Amino acid sequence: MSEKFQVVIIGGGPGGYVCAIRLAQLGIKTACIESRGTLGGTCLNIGCIPSKSLLNLSESFQKAKELSKLGIEAGKVKLNLKKMMQNKDKAVTGLTKGIEFLFKKNKVTYFQGTGRFKSSNQISITDNKKKETIIETEKTVISTGSEPVSLPSIEFDEKIIVSSTGALSLKIVPKKMVVVGAGYIGLEMGSVWSRLGTEVHVVEFLDHITPGMDREISKEFMKILKKQGINFHLQTKVKSIKKKNKGAFVSTTNKDGKNINFDCDIVLMSVGRKPNTKNLNLEAIGVSLDDKKRVKTDKNFETSIKNIYAIGDVIKGPMLAHKAEEEGIAVAEIIAGQSGHVNYDIIPGVVYTSPEVASIGKTEEQLKESNKKYKVGKFSFTANSRAKALDETEGFVKILADEKTDKVLGAHMIGPHAGEMIAEMAIAMEFGASSEDIARTCHAHPTFSEAVKEAALSVDKRAIHS
């Protein structure tokens, strides 16, 4: 007799594992199937966590080389890449094991293997020894995430032509790297290798980097990255990538039709990700996909088939771990008869470069496009005392507020710890704050977050320190 569950989750990433824990907390008999061998999905294994670890370690390396300028003379700084990678792996293992512990603590049954629908309430699990187990379920949540895509006829070998996964585990520091695509993943990984000594060239089809980001911020971001030594080739299209004995030859054309070619050791393709819907047998059970091959869901995350739900990267919306987690909690609560909800207007986005870039809500371009009347407040970190004291004065905070009601519509920042400071704006916006609410809130001195207060003051042209 096959084992029976009230809910089975396919995929143990931030969407799936969080959903499983919340369901178990709500007293629902839950199982989670994960094919990778470790829990935590893309985020913990080959995404957010290893990339942030390398970003942090490479930044420390960069800073250590410059310490003597600040009067700290600690001897010659040398890179031990193997050890750095071991440190990254340690962070990943600690966290993935931590989720296994949370599953045990919350009594979530964990199946290691690949899940596939046999019918709408029967799931087959094939483990790595090809042994099949069938389980029965009343409801299923698909949270199978996404995987990197390349350009037509350019295949990843994860040695020379790499996705972010390969770029997180290079064994030697490449001399020259071409990053195709100037989205946040390409820029984060480009920053890591640039700091470790690689000559990095970013090739981008559009005329700006980080599509979708507030344009003023993205311009400042590119200026800062250029100063750090990263080379940008905008409005430039990849024609072909040919692998050589060692490395690759990348041929591109720019907007004037000029050919620009690169002889490089590594090509990092970071042109996007696609939903992971293959091998689930979705067609056979009638689960519909949209035009981008994502699982179609209604406002309650239910697919075209009753009692089958989907969340995270495999459905529409930004491919972000915290969006997947919010959806995981919301769907668990909906399944339990509560009123789970995700506020898609207030999902922060962070790029973990140095300085960090963070944004939430509407960009100025979006407000213009929707003919919304708005006010802008800005404050530069050059006038922030903490930034001055730490000599980290690049960047600024920008707050957009409704012209009439003063309600905050968006916040965008580039600067030290922007990724932490955006949480203040998330809470403010969730509570429907006006820029005046933020301006009248006492912020500790000296902190970077005083720049947020000053930007809010600046919405009504009363910033004190500028």
Ligand X SMILES: Cc1cc2nc3c(=O)[nH]c(=O)nc-3n(C[C@H](O)[C@H](O)[C@H](O)COP(=O)(O)OP(=O)(O)OC[C@H]3O[C@@H](n4cnc5c(N)ncnc54)[C@H](O)[C@@H]3O)c2cc1C
Q: Which residues bind ligand X (CB under 6 A)?
A: 10-16, 33-36, 41-43, 47-48, 51, 114-115, 143-146, 164, 185, 276, 279-280, 312-313, 319-322, 324, 352
443 is catalytic: no
Q: How far is the CB of 163 from ligand X (least distance, A)?
A: 8
The two three-digit tokens of residue 386, written as one number: 């903490």
Q: Are 195 and 63 in contact (CB under 8 A)?
A: no
Residue 350 CB, nearest distance to ligand X (Å)? 7
For ligand X, the closer CB: 119 or 405? 119
Ranges of H-type helices in 148-300: 164-167, 184-195, 215-227, 282-285
CB atoms < 10 A from the CB of 158, how many? 13
Q: Which is nearer to ligand X, 240 or 279 (CB)?
A: 279
Find the shortest distance in angstroms from Cβ 128 to ligand X.
12
Which residue's CB is nearer to ligand X, number 15 or number 416? 15
Which one from 341, 443, 445, 465 is the annotated catalytic residue? 445
Q: How far apart are CA 165 and CA 252, in angstroms?
A: 24
Answer yes or no: are the C-beta atoms of 133 and 127 closer than 8 Å: yes
Return the C-alpha torsion angle 302, 305, 309, 313, nearest 10.
Answer: -90
Alpha helices in 66-133 (DSSP H): 81-106
Minimal distance in Å, beta carbon 352 to ligand X? 6
Q: Of 320 and 439, which CB lies nearer to ligand X in the complex structure?
A: 320
Residue 65, amino acid: K
Minimum CB distance to ligand X smaller for 13 or for 395: 13
Do 366 and 214 touch, CB atoms closer than 8 A?
A: no
Q: Cα separation of 292 and 104, whole Å?
A: 36
Q: How many residues does the chain have?
A: 466
Least distance (Å) between residue 273 CB and ligand X: 7
In sign, the C-alpha dihedral spanning 459, 354, 429, 183 is: positive
Known catalytic residues are: 445
